[in-house]
Amino acid sequence: MKKILVTGGTVFVSRYIAEYYAQKGDDVCVLNRNTRPQPIGTTLIEADRRNLGDILRHYTFDLVIDTAYTARDVDLLLDALGSFGDYILISSSAVYPETAPQPFAEESPIGPNSYWGRYGTDKIEAERALTERAPGAYILRPPYLYGPMDNVYREAFVFDCASLGRKFYLPKDGSQRLQFFHIRDLCRFMDALLEKRPARHIFNVGNRDTVTLREWAELCYRALGREPEFVEVHGDVEQRSYFSFYDYEYRLDVTRQYELMDSVTDLETGIKEAWEWYRENGDKVNKKPYFEFIDSNLNG
């Protein structure tokens, strides 16, 4: 049994991680301000991560799993921690500039990405801060994460379209490609890291195969036993006004991930799991006014 600290723990990525390790029998502490329901089977350390004082000083953690957004987040946590063993930072593919050659490998240059803006540059600084102060830490760079507990209005938007019997408005011909990674596979890969302890400390993670927007929407409809009727949207309509993803196609080279973990969740299976969770937890998703825009600007 490991003593694990998970920062956050109240929404999607950190919540799933916390419950995953708690279900495995580990002693999981979550660090947050206690403004939301806590993950099942965990112990709350109630604090603002930017004002920690001595609250963590007397704990000893075998593993810290951090979803820090900025270098300041990392520095303040490291300043506050007592003894700890391993440290894993969940970073992002947003650290790669869209102008760099693809697929992005771990050695690819990192830098500002005009689609992700400050989010990406802050993640870069968080990575640098951690590497300077804890060079033995691991850094993971996922693409779009999905699965149960996802509070972002992506698959859930398509599920709503399918359940309401709506047509699906598809950017252009729907050939833009997306890369995904199931949240459970992210946890499984962390398990593989801790077991095999590779010398490399930065990893791209994700499914090797990408999927088109059209194929993704079809899988989401199929999870409800339905087939979409597509309407293609051409012209100068801003894609994020009516659709869940930026008009930005990228791909990560995940060769090194597959050397440590050679299987991932099939996308169709993962989307079905996401639907099973969403139909019981629709109130936990941050919905956006896509329908309003479609009905006012695209429908008819």
Domains of the chain: 3-146+182-204 (3.40.50.720), 155-179+209-248+267-298 (3.90.25.10)
Q: Is the pTM of this model over 0.95?
A: yes
* Cα separation, 200 vs 56, whole angstroms: 29
Structure tokens at 26: 């580990």
pLDDT of the chain, 300 residues: tens digit per residue = 999 999 999 999 999 999 999 999 999 999 999 999 999 999 999 999 999 999 999 999 999 999 999 999 999 999 999 999 999 999 999 999 999 999 999 999 999 999 999 999 999 999 999 999 999 999 999 999 999 999 999 999 999 999 999 999 999 999 999 999 999 999 999 999 999 999 999 999 999 999 999 999 999 999 999 999 999 999 999 999 999 999 999 999 999 999 999 999 999 999 999 999 999 999 999 999 999 999 999 975
Q: How many CB atoms sit inside 10 A of residue 33's CB?
A: 13
Structure tokens at 249: 């196609």
Structure tokens at 61: 């953690």
140 DSSP β-pair partners? 90, 203
